[in-house]
Amino acid sequence: LSQLAVDSAQSAVGDAKLVAPLSGTLLSLDIDPGENVNAQQPIATVADVDNLRVKADIDEIDVGRATASMPVTVTLDAYPGVKMAGRIETIDPGATQKQGSTVYRATIGFTPAEDVVPREGMAADVDITAQRKEGVLLLPNRAFEQVGTRQYVTLAAEGSPKVEVETGLTNNTDTEVISGLEEGQVVLIK
């Protein structure tokens, strides 16, 4: 009877062994010695700190232009102004609701810059490069006035004439001017 109890205890100890699903660094342990756990209860956080990824939400308005392997620029809030090259690795096929918007979660791999030590939980800004053009005329978005489907800018010349312009690529801050304006002309910014 006592041998049966010993065998049962040894089996229970063997069954209680915790094995991480990956090699890495233990970031947190969410149980105490002797505490009972179940299979659905998270008990630890483990990360491969040498290969951290950024999890970013892409708005449904933009997700149609984003694809895996697309280049991105990553800036960590802890290292402002340090831009690091990366790529979109995956985009989740299913949507998530976040603050009333529909977003798709993307996983982004990046190469840390020299003297940058990314840490789990750091906040990051991600700029996705959907298309790149060199040698274009750019104006801040605040310089444009839309009337119907046409775009106008106001020249800083005497009388402040408005000029219709044809626009191209745009982002959150700047818009490309394809025609209607020449380099060196001064425009008013609202």
**Residue 4 CB partners (closer than 8 Å, separation 6+):** none
- The SS3 assignment for 27 reads strand
Retrieve residue 49's tokens: 């700190």
Global pTM value: 0.63
**Do residues 66 and 128 lie in contact, with contact meaning Cβ atoms separated by under 8 Å?**
yes
- Of 179, 180, 186, 190, nearest to 157 by C-alpha is 186
- Produce one character per residue of 107-135: b if its CB has 16 or more CB atoms within 10 Å, e if not: ebbbebeeeeebeeeeebebebeeeeeee
Element (H, E) at 160: none
In order along its 190 residues, the chain shows pLDDT tens digits of: 688 888 887 777 666 667 777 888 888 888 887 777 777 778 888 888 888 999 999 999 889 989 999 999 999 999 999 999 999 999 999 999 999 999 999 999 999 999 999 998 999 999 998 888 889 999 999 999 999 999 999 999 877 789 999 999 888 899 999 999 999 999 999 8
- Calculate the alpha carbon distances from 130 to 64, 70, 85 in Å: 10, 7, 14
**Do residues 87 and 69 lie in contact, with contact meaning Cβ atoms separated by under 8 Å?**
yes
